[in-house]
A and B are shown apart, each in its own frame.
Chain A
Amino acid sequence: DQQVKQNSPSLSVQEGRISILNCDYTNSMFDYFLWYKKYPAEGPTFLISISSIKDKNEDGRFTVFLNKSAKHLSLHIVPSQPGDSAVYFCAASTQGGSEKLVFGKGTKLTVNP
């Protein structure tokens, strides 16, 4: 039973446009959510996180939105750049993010020039 779901395996957008990556979760005990970017044969790189007490967190071009009632979060990248092309993983934790993480399967983002 997958507790963190990324239902879109891939997403393609044009450079300069907005990329929206979605993530759903089932465990209501999750209190911290993170987004990671990953290139092939490399470890994930932390992008941005959000605590369950917030509904939005912004860092430069990256914004994460959390809708607790819908158990849904999304990552917005604007404007998208070709260097953003990678696999994006959503992860969730019940212990503040520095403990056990449950990952989604990832969404491969391709930003076309």
Chain B
Amino acid sequence: GAVVSQHPSWVICKSGTSVKIECRSLDFQATTMFWYRQFPKQSLMLMATSNEGSKATYEQGVEKDKFLINHASLTLSTLTVTSAHPEDSSFYICSASRTSGRRDHEQYFGPGTRLTVT
């Protein structure tokens, strides 16, 4: 159990276009989903935290108008990179934590999405 999927697994887009990445918890309900970005040989950097039905909380330095996050249901969160530029090229990873009340303290990570902006 506790499987998180991401779609697409990789995407190439042209500069100026928008790209949507989906994150789904397949076999559990996730009240909270997290979006991370990883540059080569760097750590995973949290971009934002999204709770179902409410606005996402963005980390300092992350542009909320550029990285639109929607958490419409307990199993789906989406990240839209708007007006993408080459510097947005990165590996984007989502994670999900189970609904509160459970005893485990884990985030379950998706497989990641490789975004390349040309």
Contact = CB atoms under 8 A, between A and B. Distances in A.
Interface residues of B, number: 28
Contacts of A102: 46
Interface residues of A, number: 26
B32 interface: yes
A41 to B, nearest CB: 6
A43 B43 contact: no
A4 B104 CA distance: 22
Interface of A: 4, 9, 32, 34, 36, 41-46, 49, 51, 89, 93, 96-106
Contacts, number: 66
A46 B32 CA distance: 17
Contact of A41 (B4, B32, B41, B114): B114
B112 A89 contact: no
A100 B93 contact: no
A49 B106 contact: yes
Nearest to B108: A46
* A-B residue pairs, 7 tightest by C-beta: A97-B105, A43-B109, A98-B97, A103-B43, A105-B43, A103-B44, A44-B109
A38 to B, nearest CB: 9
B32 A99 contact: yes
B34 interface: yes
Given A42-B111, A43-B110, A99-B97, A32 B105 contact: yes
B91 interface: yes
Given A97-B106, A98-B97, A99-B32, A43 B112 contact: yes
Contacts of B105: 32, 49, 51, 93, 96-98
B98 interface: yes
A99 B105 CA distance: 8
A105 B106 contact: no
B54 interface: no
15 contacts: A36-B109, A41-B91, A41-B112, A43-B95, A43-B109, A43-B110, A44-B93, A51-B105, A98-B32, A98-B105, A99-B49, A103-B43, A103-B45, A104-B43, A106-B43
